[in-house]
Structure 1
């Protein structure tokens, strides 16, 4: 019997000023499926959107600065950035822009072989849209990649 993992889900909770606009952007334009929604007293509302597999990316300051520079040409402010893996990086970027997102960095290929763009969503959150251009096995064979256990 496999050991039960202690953490089953990563959920990012964003407080938004315009709930309907945020729902339209993330659910309808980006395409995140709505799993559950709740309405409570005092106009309280929440929608839980399925973003597929969740990961927590930990980056030190040097890596964060490198990613900012690659995606936007300059360092961005501190904070949490949401990143969404998509199948069509250029098309998704254009759809999000048409839905009110501001492009901070146009789609560009990164040194780790993904196509990344940086946007600010209508909710004010910086997001990265990325399309993998090689699979993880190919990437793992290149210098500097792998897990800490493999080094």
Structure 2
């Protein structure tokens, strides 16, 4: 990446837009149980509603098919992931997994330590989204001064 791209990013925000048939359940699942903070909620005519939830720093992870198969083996005993899977970093993946299952999530794989030193679980969440919860097991590296 050139220095020019680092100084003047063209993209300011990544926003994933999901149509949720059971909107209220999806808001409860992601806001109230997972803990994403509500940034904005708007209602319009005809019962049109939107809730924008803050999810910390956003990244777009692009993986080739071999990498996806390797992650599926490590994280979910080889069960194939959805083409789009949302990964949330949490402080306690075992506890958050249990909370989301109690709130209606469907467990795909229990939390397990990965070769890259994170504790990952996989589940299907509200609105049919496939989720990975991951907890970094090593402290973050100190930034270079």
Query: What TM-score, normalized by structure 2, do the two folds share?
Result: 0.89
Task: Give structure 1 stretches of 5+ with no counterpart.
Answer: 139-151
The answer to whether structure 1 residue 63 and structure 2 residue 67 are counterparts is yes
For 1:37, the equivalent position in structure 2 comes to 41
Q: What is the rounded CA distance, in whole Å, between the counterparts of 1:116 and 1:79 in structure 2? A: 18
- Give the aligned CA root-mean-square deviation in angstroms: 1.6
1:131 corresponds to which of 128, 132, 135: 135
Task: Give structure 2 stretches of 5+ with no counterpart.
Answer: 1-5
Runs of 4+ with deviation above 6 angstroms: none
Q: What is the rounded CA distance, in whole Å, between the counterparts of 1:58 and 1:111 in structure 2? A: 19
Q: What is the rounded CA distance, in whole Å, between the counterparts of 2:110 and 2:89 in structure 1? A: 16
Query: What TM-score, normalized by structure 1, do the two folds share?
Result: 0.86
**Alpha-carbon distance, 1:136 to partner:** 4.8
Q: What is the rounded CA distance, in whole Å, between the counterparts of 1:77 and 1:112 in structure 2? A: 18
Other structure's SS at 1:137 match: coil
